[in-house]
Structure 1
């Protein structure tokens, strides 16, 4: 399965968009490696990248949300924490059992869900908030309606 970056996923902040494009490229690399029978090796590289990505990218995204008084910052922060915890569990499993084909597949599915739900939903909603202003924003990308903005 190939997931291709689409310009419609951009939130309008180049640094964040660039990081998201990199995440899509890394996911594509994992899918290509799985197809070539090299999924376990690529998974090791991807998880190393994601550990750093989660720390730096999430910190930058949360700072952006604070600076623009984004009303769903706490909800977003919880999603980031859940991703970090899931990532930590995957890294621990690899440490214990190695990168089995099942773990490679599980990681691919988890990352695909993250890409579709978080990057293409929640994060795009931040862009809508930034570009349209509070009066036109609905919180639609989060599955949560914005209240009191």
Structure 2
């Protein structure tokens, strides 16, 4: 059976992050790579646009306390939204990380690693919220978002 490259699978937050997840750092635009040669020519980087949904991509790093391997303790989740997503307000006392739940979470299988290859996952989401809070209603995105998400890495 052939599964086309780029196929995304919807998944519940608790299946990916059974012990929860916490944001470590800011939500930033996911920018296209620009080589030093192109920079010297004056080319400016642009924010990436998700090919399936047509929405701008934003990235955020999260920590996964349930991860067994060190390489899996941190993951990048790409958020798809017209405007920059705002992280939940409640930072843990003394630390700059915030518990979070992702809405519209999707995974895409990828081969990862340089020298040693392993099965990894690109994580995409359409929103985020504070754990325990009600899911906020989200307006429908152009071109649909049921099979697209955020580019994050999580190895299996």
TM-score bracket, shorter-length normalisation: under 0.3
- Whose helix fraction is larger, Structure 1's or Structure 2's? 1
- Whose strand fraction is larger, Structure 1's or Structure 2's? 2
**TM-score (ref. length: structure 1):** 0.27
**TM-score (ref. length: structure 2):** 0.27
